[in-house]
Structure 1
């Protein structure tokens, strides 16, 4: 079905589409080599995509959450790895933009201006073994004069190859601290561990912090260990879940577009079985888009923050769950349409088939998500919640 977008959304999707079409020509080589697409980042920098979610008054495009969702879906149609990697920049920058609008903080304004003009590439790299929900940390922060010394191991360092600054977390007594770290900080060690089934060009390598100094003013949030956090819902989870979902849905949309080209080229448009498969793909695609739009509306209107934090978390995670699982179902059906040709690496569907599988293991993974949905539906408290901020 033809997508209905506002004039502003159409402009953003056209930008993402130009980039996606360019990236598509390089995607196979980066996938095969497991190499990071630096040239794609240079192109995004030139086109202003790295400033997509920076407020217009600070030099960016001022994209809303839903603007970002539709842009990321379109970008992922060309290269899922690039779309997922840059999501670790454009989503956190959008979160910081929201905080800046509330506070007017000049430090945040500086971060946003540097993102707008391409000097800063941000990354959110907080993943650790065994704790996907960010309620604690195996990394340890030790107070010292002027700040903290942090030691710990991180995994899935998506965008670590290109970022200039990143955010991560550590535990300090009974609190979880979130803070920013320059990519060239003394004591950081990056390891080339990323040799995976899919999303190979993200270069999501492991890294370690060995007694890394974190100034006190680099800490931007903290909350009690073992708690859901209302601020994290409005920022990290509220933006990351739907935009992750949008990336995987874009891979599904790309697979569907390829299958359409193949079906029409082979004269199979009148085949009832092909028509049935496309009908199912349309339902899956439009259902996921509707859930993502609903989430964006709830977050941006402030209504999501009126729900209990666990219930709000469940709604945010639901957006990612529906989008990623529907995307896998779309790709599977696209493979049925294309048939044996889709099994060959010279066609993009093979890469899309592998890339889309990562969606169900990224936080919240499917099992964690279903646990959250079921307990929330039955009124079972998973963890206490911090009160909402201002």
Structure 2
């Protein structure tokens, strides 16, 4: 793991951090970041070693996303959604799927993402309206997905649909983005994570070979909760811990460098010291909780799911709290683009409203610890 993290830090320092302000200001996809991560093999973080990948696990993922997000939240989210798509394929890959997707991912040649959200279902992405209609040896897909990160840039999508027979439940299907009838539409207009290119996807009579099904028909719901949920939740918790860390480190540097006329630094003011202490504690508590939750998930501990869910709640709330404190420390400079604090503050707001939202997770955790059925 140490080698993976050191490689991530090097790429972040040399490529991702220098491009972060431009990605945000120009609201463009962080192509340089993704290419650098791919060249280093990090797009294959969750690809098994025997297929050329790094063979990483959820502890690696949460740590890597934290490092990237401390420099650029947009790059971290684009990377995370690719890793979620990779995890789905890797969970039940056929030899053909491994050859067509996992090996190229490991070489940095393919970028993936999830196509889960729909306007009509909101945060309940596990209840799609789209149905996979089986015609001979092909599925035919019609409908619309929203908030597809990496939209227009990904090479393949994991599309969640209702199975061809209602009693089977859900399917996950690998769809190449060059398939006839598939198109992306719109622009990402969110206040933060400006480069993640989260846009709408239209599927009009898109025909996909049945061999692109992940697992068997009806395996979709199991993949949602056993693969996608822990991968996304721990990854996005890492992202938010990273955003908080980036804001704290920026505020700390500013407080030490900013001098008053009498020679004192901003960091010598007691109120600022209180803020720095609060930020330090918030960042470390979020980061350590996320790491612990990821380790529990990897070990398969009985209480792992509670810690996984709570990790997103804690990291999202600390990201908001720490970026607000960083703004107070940096004052007028923080309120402008002279410092990246305002970018961190905008990026931090996304975590709480990403499905599963903070409120949904708190309900699930609360019911679980109280012994109340979730549904």
Task: State whether TM-score is above 0.5.
Answer: yes
Matched, 1:182 2:180: no
Matched, 1:67 2:65: no
Contact 2:290/2:308 (<8 A) preserved: no
Runs of 4+ in 1 over 6 A off after TM superposition: none
Cα separation, 2, equivalents of 1:366 and 1:301: 25
Stretch moving more, 156-165 or 23-32 = 23-32
TM-score, length of structure 1 as denominator length: 0.87
Stretch moving more, 317-326 or 50-59 = 50-59
Cα separation, 2, equivalents of 1:314 and 1:76: 24
1:255 paired residue among 231, 242, 247: 247
Give per-residue Cα distances to partners, 1:47-91, cap 9 Å, x unaligned: 222122222332222222111211110111111101101111123
Contact 2:38/2:109 (<8 A) preserved: no
Q: What's the offset of the Cα at 1:370?
A: 2.1
Q: What's the offset of the Cα at 1:332?
A: 1.1
Cα separation, 1, equivalents of 2:246 and 2:47: 27
TM-score, length of structure 2 as denominator length: 0.90
2:346 is matched with which residue? 354
From the superposition, tell whether residues 281 and 95 of structure 1 become closer, same or farther in structure 2 (CA, over 3 Å).
farther
Contact 1:89/1:123 (<8 A) preserved: yes
Cα separation, 1, equivalents of 2:296 and 2:272: 36
Q: What's the offset of the Cα at 1:261?
A: 0.7
Cα separation, 1, equivalents of 2:87 and 2:207: 26
1:37 is matched with which residue? 30
Give per-residue Cα distances to partners, 1:134-156, cap 9 Å, x unaligned: 33211122221103211111111
| Equivalent position SS for 1:220 | coil
Q: What's the offset of the Cα at 1:265?
A: 0.3
Q: How many residues align?
A: 362
1:243 paired residue among 204, 215, 235: 235
Match runs of 1:1-390 below 5 Å: 8-9=1-2, 11-21=3-13, 22-94=15-87, 96-97=89-90, 99=92, 105-110=94-99, 111-129=101-119, 130-172=121-163, 173-174=166-167, 175-221=169-215, 222-223=217-218, 229-266=221-258, 267-304=265-302, 313-383=305-375
| Equivalent position SS for 1:283 | helix
Cα separation, 2, equivalents of 1:158 and 1:216: 25
| Equivalent position SS for 2:175 | strand
Unmatched segments (≥5 aa) in structure 2:
259-264
Unmatched segments (≥5 aa) in structure 1:
1-7, 384-390
